[in-house]
Structures are given as structure tokens and as C-alpha cells.
Amino acid sequence: MEQIKQNKEFIIRYYNAISGVLKTKELLSEFIVEDNLMNLIAVMDGIFPAYELFADEMLAEDNKVMVRAMFKGIHKGEFKGVAPTNKKVEFPFVITYEIENGKIIHHWTIADQQGILDQLENRNEHAGE
């Protein structure tokens, strides 16, 4: 039970550390060893520099923490063929982290990429400004 609590606290520290700042390899290395997650973050930070993450709910079991969260950023780089629009984008996502020895070793993410495109192309009543 103590390990589950520590894992949730670790993810909260991680979100607080990376939200709203450019995510350097040095910063990410404090929390992550998985290359795929490092690459995903680098890509998303290039498209939505200094994006923010807001955890809405966390569930944990064994060495896994699932987070239902909100992503908020400003579109400054090409995304799926859409040139930068400088629009605010926000979308919900769910991510599960696997933690070992105080680092994220694996992740699974579910996010609505079509919803992001809809916001960028004004096909959604909740499009960013």
C-alpha cells in the first residue's frame, strides 16, 4: 500500500515538474527511462511548446498508475499536416505509467487526435481561440 502511495506522489511531482516548461532531456531523465515516452514528449513539446498537464484522477495498483488528465497548449508546430495556428488546444487523455526504481519504465496513452485536429481546423464548437 505504501508503494502505491509513493507511485502516485511520484506522478504528481512529475506533472508539476514538466507542466508549463520546455521539457529538456535532463529534466525528463529525472523521471523517465523509456525512450518512447521521451520521444513522444519531445514531439508534443515541439508542436505545443511548454504545454501543461492537469491530472483529474489517478488510480494505482502494484507498480502502475493510471491518470485521467487534461492537456493544454498553444499550437506552434505542425501537427498531422496542419501548419501552426497559434490556437489554444485542450484535450483529455488517459495514460498509464509503469514505475520501477523511481522511474517511468513504460507507458500506454489514449488521446483523441481527431479532436485535436477539429480544434485546429475549427470543426468543433469547443475549438481553441
Domain range 2-120, its CATH number among 3.40.50.12170, 3.40.50.2300, 3.10.450.50, 1.10.275.10: 3.10.450.50
DSSP conformational letter for 126: T
Average pLDDT for the chain: 93
Percent of the chain with pLDDT over 90: 91
Q: What is the pLDDT of residue 1?
A: 77
Q: What is the pLDDT of residue 69?
A: 97
Residues of the chain with pLDDT under 50: 125-129
Q: Name the residue ranges covered by the structural domains of the chain.
A: 2-120
Of 54, 38, 49, 26, which Cα lies nearest the Cα of 105? 38
Convert the pLDDT of each residue in 47-73 to its tens digit.
999 999 999 999 999 999 999 999 999
Query: Which pTM was predicted?
Result: 0.89
Separation in Å, CA 39 to CA 28, 43, 84, 126, 128: 10, 6, 20, 28, 25
Of 1, 5, 2, 10, which Cα lies nearest the Cα of 101? 10
